[in-house]
Structure formats: structure tokens, C-alpha cells
Amino acid sequence: MPGYSITLRNRSHAFGDLKTLLAKASPARSGDALAGIAAENDQQRVAAQLVLADVPLAAFLDQPLIPYEEDEITRLILDSHDRQAFAPIADLTVGQFRDWLLRYETDGDALAALAPGLTPEMVAAVSKLMRNQDLILVASKRRVVSRFRNTIGLPGRLAIRLQPNHPTDDPAGIGASILDGLLYGCGDAVIGINPATDSIETVHRLLGMLAELIERYGVPTQSCVLAHVTTQLAAIEQGAPVDLVFQSIAGTERANASFGVNLRLLGEARDAALALRRGTVGNNVMYFETGQGSCLSAEAHHGVDQQTLEARAYGVARRFEPLLVNTVVGFIGPEYLYDGKQIIRAGLEDHFCGKLLGVPMGCDVCYTNHAEADQDDMDNLLTLLAVAGCNYFMGVPGADDIMLNYQSTSFHDSQYLRQVLGLRPAPEFEAWLETMRITGDGNRLLAIEPRHRLLQDAASASGIQPRASTNEI
């Protein structure tokens, strides 16, 4: 194995192998420090970046970071690599690849054609040499479009996952949050519930509720109950109306094993969902969530930095042609991403890497109460990712998830982005919102009257009457 070294300002720096070099070149974050693989200081980090800039992209094909024999994801990445698609950049170094990506001539079509020739490791490597504006610029060139009952990822569009979680999976509580989200124009990415209970019965019951709602109002969207994949498969066997199959995934075989999944199981899940034939405009039936640090937390990181491992998770995702993939970027906690600055950087890296690999990236822009972050940090990342062309964000009532105990983004946040960047919902969903008199007047929310059909139906279901003003209560 070749060594990597450089002398910088009269100091020599040596890096034993490629994965060490990548880890030392990675922008600072607490998770890599926790793993004991981060650069010891800023100069060593830049030295590593200088060395990395001269590494040929082809090195990543010859030197797997995690041995081929030990890891099915390494095998997936290398076995599915498309040499022909790789040809335009086959002779470039990592540093030259950054320059190539930034050229005017490298447009969305060029990036789409290149995607099968890129490995997660190449994409992760180049991201480490890029500043935030580079990550935004290159990602903004690349649209990844996916379809099920609507079309997500088109230029000028932004979808929102309506996340109506409730700590006891109470149908009335979940229903109230769904109503709130729909009346704020959200829910085109998916109406996706994280169940408090991972039981087949609960999953089946919630799926039935969502399917009934989507059918009754003809909502051009899809549903998902984000239980473990095996629970969703069992629900399918019981006849549950599953639109999308969800699973959290990570970038190593061992980390996925700690989640109780592997590539074969994910393939079976996709086949089962496809067999239900519930999509109308497309057949992207998978939904994945990821997040930097998950491999380390499962003690399955093989000494590879967390950002590179995250990119490998997108390598897993793209195999299954998902409708939705989002990094849950600030969810994991300060031991992996310490503060707002690290969360923002990671969110931009994740979106960039996913898009380059051809994954329909969204982002759960979020933080926990033990991290050094707040709403201002979320506003920054939300805005940056929207400029970068992120496919979707989360919509949680008031940004406060009362089941998962973290702060994400709100329905109101989507209205902010629609105003400042002119981003519209998925076209099919936008038409539905206008028909339902929820939005109009060019992308603005309409005042909802107490006699609105959704409110009247909710009232007759719950016995709680809508009122025009708080003063009447």
C-alpha cells in the first residue's frame, strides 16, 4: 500500500493509507474525534487535503477502504461500478475532479450520465476539498426526480414530508397533525408516521388510516409508517396497504446488521412493495433514512470517517431506486456533530454526495436538546439546502416532534422557502391544494373558513367544532 506524505511549512505529514488520509482530510467534527481518527490540528487537516487532491480517482477502485471479502456494501459498490460512465473522469485526481465539477460545461445531464461511474468514496473524497458554496453549486446542477403518486425533485419545486407523530400513536392526535399539515400545504413527499410502537397491529392500523384519508380526498401523495422493515413486511403479508417501505440504513454491512437488515432483506421488501402496484405515476417504492455517525455508534466503522461511511449508505440506497432518501442530520447528537456549524456542514455534504450518486435527496434539518444548536442554525441550513435544490424537508407541527423528542422543521418553514425562493409543491399536489382552496394567489396559503370540507369532516369525526376565532373558546 502506498504511503501518502507532504511537507507543509517545513513540517512533514505522513498518512499510512487511503482511509487514514480521508479521515484526516475530513472537515472537523466530533464523531471522527470520538473514533480517534480525526486530524490532530488544522494544519494536519489541510496537509491531508493537499495530499488527497493529488490522489487519482481510480485509486478508490483499486484500494477498497473496507475489504471486499468482509463487507457486502463494498462488494455492491465495486461490482456495480460502471467503467464506461466513469471514463470522462477516469484520469483525473480528486482535486481535478473538484475543478471539473465546477466548470460551466458540467451540467445536470453530464452529472446524471456520470453517476453510475461514481463510487461513494470518490464523492466523499471530493466533498472534503469543497467549501460550502461548492457543495451548494454542484448539487444545484443535479436534479434527481422520483415518482409514486406524484413527481418529486423537479426544478423549482420543493416537497415536504408531513410527519404527524404522536407518542401513543393515537389516531385522533395523528389525524389532527395531518390536518394541520395539509392545511399548511404540506405532505407531498409523503405522509410518514414514526410509530411509537413497532408492532404489526399498530403499523397495519395506521396504514389503513392513511390509505383511507388519501383515497377519500384524492390526495396525490403516498403514505409510510416507519417501523422496522420486517414489521412492514409482516404487515404486507396481513394485507396492509403499504405505499412505501421504510428502513434506516448505514454504510457498512455490520452497521446494517445492527439495524437488523441486509441487502437481501431490503431487496425482498422492495419486491413486496412493488407487487402491491399502488403507485400511479411511478414505481419508486422505497424510503431510506441515514445519518453521519450511525456506523460508529454501532461500533462498525472500520476506521473510516463518518462522512465517507454516510456516502456509502447512499450507495446502498441507490441500488433500490428509492422515492425518498434523507439524512437526519442533527438527530444523532453532539458526540457525532457537535454544534450548528458541524450540522450545517454535514447537511450540505450529505445532500451533495447523495445527489451526485443519483439519490433523490431530502434532509431532516434537525437538532437535539443536548446539541449546541438552535432554530437559527436550522434556518441557515434549511436556506442553504433549498438553494442547493434539496428535494424535500420535514414538516413537523411547530418544528417540535413530540414523539421523537427533537426539533425538525415546521410547516411554517416551508412557507418561508416558498416565499424567498419561489419554490412550489410537487405539481400534482399543487393542483390538489388549489382545488381544495388551501393555496392560491400564487403559492400563498388561503384563509381557511370553518366550513372548509377538511374541517367539517374532522369535526364530525371528532365532535370538535371548528371556530373562527380563539376568542370564542
Partner 1 sequence: MASESPVTIDPWHALRSVTQARIALGRSGGSLPTREWLAFKAAHAAARDAVHNRFDADALAAEIATIGVETLVVASAAADRSAYLQRPDSGRRLDAASRSRLQQYAGGGQQPDLAIIVSDGLSALAVHRQANGILAGLVPALVSDGWRLAPVIVARYGRVALQDEIGELLRAQLALMLIGERPGLGSPDSMGAYLVHRPKIGNTDAHRNCVSNIRPEGLPWAAAANTLRYLLTEARRRNISGVALKDERSLAPPAASCEAKSLDGLASK
Q: Hey, is 239 helix, strand or coil?
A: coil
- The residue (of 146 and 410) whose beta carbon lies closer to partner 1 is 410
Near partner 1 in 363-382, by CB under 8 A = 368-370, 374-375
Per-residue contact string for residues 207-226; x = within reach of partner 1 by CB under 8 A: -------------------x
Give φ, ψ of 72 to 5 degrees: -70, -20
CB of 267 to partner 1, least distance (A): 18
Q: Please compute Rg for the chain using Cα positions.
A: 22
Answer for which of 146, 150, 202, 306 binds partner 1 (CB under 8 A) is 202
**Which of 99, 335 has the CB closer to partner 1?**
335
Inter-residue contact 411 to 448 (CB < 8 Å): no
CA–CA gap between residue 332 and residue 383 (Å, rounded): 21
Q: Which residues pair with 290 in a beta bridge?
A: 327
Compute the least distance from the CB of residue 326 to partner 1, in Å.
11
Question: Would you give the binding string for partner 1 spanning residues 12-51, x where CB under 8 A is met?
Answer: ------------------x---x-----------------
Other C-beta atoms lying within 10 Å of the C-beta of residue 125: 30
What are 201's three cell numbers?
397491529
Q: Scanning the structure block, which residue is given the C-alpha cell 490540528?
A: 41
The site map against partner 1 for 406-435 (x = CB under 8 A) is xx--x-x--xx-xx----------------
The footprint of partner 1 on this chain (CB under 8 A) covers a number of residues equal to 93
Q: Which residues make beta-bridge pairs with 56?
A: 93
Among 80, 405, 435, 460, binds partner 1 (CB under 8 A): 405
Side chain identity at residue 101, one-letter code: L
Nearest to partner 1 of 231, 307 (CB atom): 231
Q: Which is nearer to partner 1, 167 or 267 (CB)?
A: 167
Among 52, 66, 183, 273, interactor with partner 1 by CB under 8 A: 183
* Smallest gap from residue 218 Cβ to partner 1 (A): 21
The footprint of partner 1 on residues 230-259 (CB under 8 A) is 230-231, 234, 248, 257-259
Do the beta carbons of residue 255 and residue 268 sit within 8 Å? Answer: no
Cα-based torsion angle of the residue sequence 297, 300, 306, 311 in order, rounded to the nearest 10 degrees: -120
Among the listed residues 414, 397, 447, 366, the one whose alpha carbon sits nearest the alpha carbon of residue 174: 397
When binding is defined by CB under 8 A, the residue of 58, 129, 137, 448 that contacts partner 1 is 448
Q: Whose Cβ is closer to partner 1: residue 93's or residue 327's? A: 327
| 41 vs 405, beta carbon nearer partner 1 | 405
Q: At what angle do helices 375-387 and 340-357 cross, to 10 degrees?
A: 20
Q: Choose the binding region for partner 1 from 121-129, 170-178, 207-215, 307-315 (rule: CB under 8 A).
A: 170-178
Smallest distance from the beta carbon of 315 to partner 1, in angstroms? 18
CB-based contact 37:48 (threshold 8 Å): no
Cβ closest to partner 1, residue 21 vs residue 295:
295
Q: Using CB under 8 A, which residues numbered 385 to 404 contact partner 1?
A: 397-404
Say what angle helices 306-319 and 18-25 make with each other, to 10 degrees: 110
- Of 152, 176, 166, 181, nearest to 395 by C-alpha is 181
**Interface with partner 1, residue 444, by CB under 8 A:** yes
Question: Which DSSP string corresponds to 139-202?
Answer: HHH----EESSSEES-TTB-EEEE----TT--HHHHHHHHHHHHHTT--SSEEEE--SS--HHH
The DSSP call for residue 449 is P
Residues 273-312 that bind partner 1 (CB under 8 A): 289, 291, 293-294, 297-299
- Distance in Å, CB of 221 to partner 1, minimum: 19
- 48-107 residues in contact with partner 1 (CB under 8 A) are none
> Could you tell me if 182 and 219 are in contact, meaning their C-beta atoms sit under 8 angstroms apart?
yes
CB atoms within 10 A of CB 423: 19
Neighbours of 92 (CB within 10 A): 17
State the minimum distance, in angstroms, from the CB of residue 132 to partner 1.
24
- Residue 318 corresponds to which cell in the numbers above? 441507490
Site for partner 1 in 308-337 (CB under 8 A): 328, 331-336
Closest distance of CB 214 from partner 1, Å: 19
